[in-house]
Amino acid sequence: MPVRVRRLISSAIHVTLALVLVATGVVTWIGLRGGWLEPLDLLVVVLPVLLTIATAVLGELKSGQPGHSVEETVREQVTALSAQVDADWELERRNRRLYDGPRMAVRWQTAAGSDRTTRLGNALAEQGHLDQLTARFGHHVRAGRLSRLVVTGERGAGKSAGCVLLALELSGRNQAAPATPLVPVLFQLSSWKPTCSLSRWMTDELLANHPALFDFPEAHRREVADRIVGQHVLPVLDGLDEMQDPTAALRIIEEELAGRSFVLGCRSEAFATANAGNVLRQAVIVRLQPLRADEARAILLRNVPGDGHDVLAPLVATLDGDPGGPVAEALRTPFILSLAVALRGEPLPAELLAVAGPDAVDRVERHLLGTFVDKAYPRAPETGRGAVSADDARRYLGFLARHADPVTGRLEWWRLHLAVPRAVFLAYAVCVAGVACSALAAGFFAFFGLPWLGFWIGLTAGVAGALVVELVPQDDPRRARPRLRSVRAPAPNALLRTLGFGLTGGAACGVIAWFLYESPRYVVIGGLLSGLTYAAARYVSEPVDPMDAVTPVSLLRTDRAAVSYAWLLGGIPGALTGAYLGAALPTGHRTPQLDHVAAVQDLSPAVLALLGAIGGCGLSAAGLGLMALGSSAWGRFIPTRAWLHARRSTPRELMAFLEDARRRGVLRQINGYYEFRHDLLLRHLAEDTPWRPGIMPEPRR
């Protein structure tokens, strides 16, 4: 949105707040002069309006960061971003087991289209090892020289690991931070549509993935993020081959990143096609080379204990005797070879060593993938949370693999509800809300001798609230404690949720007041206060960034705490509203319907105010809490977990199982997400009939 438009919107919001303030003052003066507005009404109605306006203005002033120029803000945010990204890359290094010790000596070779006239190209040999490439690239970037590197290779060749090592070379763990460092930030091109500008998309990704670093007004957020992306970020662009039109995307990359350093990862064949006309200029293009049979042999012997060398003799003999055969071909990629290393000397079946035919390589790969899962879950019974049998583990992992994000491969527990029929959530919400609301309302109205009226009001409100919640998409995990935000227009989905919460809360309180009070002003006051409470509680809560320094388990706990906080947010103002309505009950109750109620006649206004506070606290807390539960990721996860467990798709302790799979090396954790260890493993587990132990693997069809 242009700065001019944003300023106009901001001005309109401030003018509206001023008009509301003036109107509130005028109505207060007229009400006090006319006698229809009492001092208690003044405290209950006017004070919340003034507090709301004061909160909005203070939030705007606080988030405006007075005294900070854009340049100072950019420098501060670059430092914070660098620290966060360094931590992310270090975690990724550990997850990929890229330790500082001896690693596989993956070779690279310059590919067609590589520009040898650049300073980086002139400094590199025609071929070398990956560690040499990362060191030379990092040296040139730190020296401020143009360094554009394309890393290509086949599936499983180590492209993603190479990108991680290149980023680590530029991170704070390997260098003293210069005055204006280039921060290596990973961007998954699979989520970019070339109809959007690349620079704008990268800015949007930075804002979405690191919202905590840009917690100030929208105009400043965009301006600061634009400068950081344009001047202080080294883009690490991965997954060009996953785009619909890699050639068009490559042209845009060349145009928009002209004169800038970057790293680009892509499969060899896809990049050769996209760069057929030498679209990319001034770039060094390298292709990661497959491991030779003698290299695979040396790696196996180096990583397997000495007493396992005899067991490896048939495999070593096969590699020596047929260096171009199916077994050597399967072990040519670092990932598949790492699976063989993980067997720790366990032999391959003799029939697999002698397999031949066009599908022989595929059978060897599938055997190693299947054996890896089988070894991760031994058949000996285990105890502890998350521990399951080998057969159950394969079934659960297969289901999770089929429901991972089809673009990024990420496994998000808050998206598993998409595998459950929507009718399940509707039935669950109607049952929970209907039972809870009808029971509470019946107990409240029993005080007035009208329990069945309360029952039907509560049942209607519960069912209506459940339907409203089900009309909007599920929330992402939210913060445990709401934060006051600067005044900005919410997104359409967020606005719909906010209005839905406010209207439902206001309508419920208004209906109760209509049945109990003669004057419509109590209906208006009660409905207004309840509606504002529900809408404000919804608006001030913000989603948690899954890419921040969190874990999937902490995301679940945070979202669960956010629901609990909603109960508290509903209870406190509900108690105030109930106290006001309770104190007004002796003079304002509906006649003659409530004239027979002894409590209305015998109890003092103070006691009725106390009872009203208790009832208002319970009803408001339950209403807001149930709506927050129904729309929250945790609230949807409860029936999701039960449904999937009943269908034997996942274990009962799903989160414990995911954590256990991470400890076993089947999954890895990327902040708030899980991922399978490799795309090949994900594809293998996602098959309808994956390989099972004791069965000769069949070729893929």
Are 186 and 238 a contacting pair, CB within 8 Å? yes
**Domain's final residue, options 639, 667, 686:** 639
Are both 56 and 81 inside the same structural domain? no
Task: Report yes or no on 662 lying in a domain.
Answer: no
The whole-number average pLDDT for the span 625-643 is 84
**Does position 411 have pLDDT exceeding 60, yes or no?**
yes
Looking at residue 645, what is its pLDDT?
92
Are both 28 and 136 inside the same structural domain? no
Are both 346 and 283 inside the same structural domain? no
- Give the strand order in the sheet containing 667-670: 410-411, 673-676, 667-670
**Does position 266 have pLDDT exceeding 70, yes or no?**
yes
**Domain's final residue, options 288, 310, 337:** 288
3-state SS class at 270: helix
Question: Of residues 547 and 482, which shows the higher confidence score?
Answer: 482
Are both 327 and 284 inside the same structural domain? no
Looking at residue 46, what is its pLDDT?
57
**Does position 492 have pLDDT exceeding 60, yes or no?**
no
**Domain's final residue, options 639, 662, 689:** 639
Task: Report yes or no on 397 lying in a domain.
Answer: no
**Does position 95 have pLDDT exceeding 90, yes or no?**
no
The whole-number average pLDDT for the span 307-315 is 69
Task: Report yes or no on 81 lying in a domain.
Answer: yes
Task: Report yes or no on 86 lying in a domain.
Answer: yes
**Does position 180 have pLDDT exceeding 60, yes or no?**
no
Structure confidence by residue, pLDDT tens digits, 367-386: 888 877 777 787 555 555 55
Task: Report yes or no on 262 lying in a domain.
Answer: yes
Report which DSSP code applies to 386.
Answer: T
Looking at residue 646, what is its pLDDT?
92
Provide the mean pLDDT of the chain: 75
Are both 109 and 257 inside the same structural domain? yes
Looking at residue 225, what is its pLDDT?
86
**Considering only CA atoms, which of 241, 615, 636 is closest in space to residue 416?**
636
User: How many other β-carbons are positioned within 10 Å of the β-carbon of residue 325?
Assistant: 19
Are both 368 and 462 inside the same structural domain? no
Are both 132 and 205 inside the same structural domain? yes
Q: Read off the pLDDT band of 149 (50, 70, 90).
A: very high
Place of tokens 């583990």: 393
With the C-alpha atoms ordered 271, 273, 279, 283, is the resulting torsion angle positive or negative? Answer: positive
Are both 244 and 115 inside the same structural domain? yes
Task: Report yes or no on 482 lying in a domain.
Answer: yes
Give the domain extent around 56. 3-63
The whole-number average pLDDT for the span 648-677 is 83
Structural domains counted in the chain: 4
With 0-12 CB in 10 A as exposed, 13-18 as middle and 19+ as buried, what is 468? buried
Report which DSSP code applies to 186.
Answer: E
Task: Report yes or no on 352 lying in a domain.
Answer: yes
User: How many other β-carbons are positioned within 10 Å of the β-carbon of residue 603?
Assistant: 17
> How far, in Å, are 192, 232, 256, 274 from residue 196 at the CA level?
8, 21, 12, 19
Are both 539 and 615 inside the same structural domain? yes
Contacting residues for 474 by C-beta, under 8 A, at least 6 apart: 414, 417, 631, 632, 633, 636
Q: Read off the pLDDT band of 66 (50, 70, 90).
A: very low
Task: Report yes or no on 332 lying in a domain.
Answer: yes
The whole-number average pLDDT for the span 544-564 is 66
Are both 115 and 26 inside the same structural domain? no
Looking at residue 198, what is its pLDDT?
92
Question: Of residues 219 and 298, which shows the higher confidence score?
Answer: 298
Are both 180 and 283 inside the same structural domain? yes
Q: Read off the pLDDT band of 364 (50, 70, 90).
A: confident
Are both 261 and 349 inside the same structural domain? no
Choose the weakest-confidence range: 134-143, 318-327, 449-458, 668-677.
Answer: 668-677
Residue 57 main-chain phi, psi, to 5 deg: -65, -45
Report the CATH number at residue 93.
Answer: 3.40.50.300
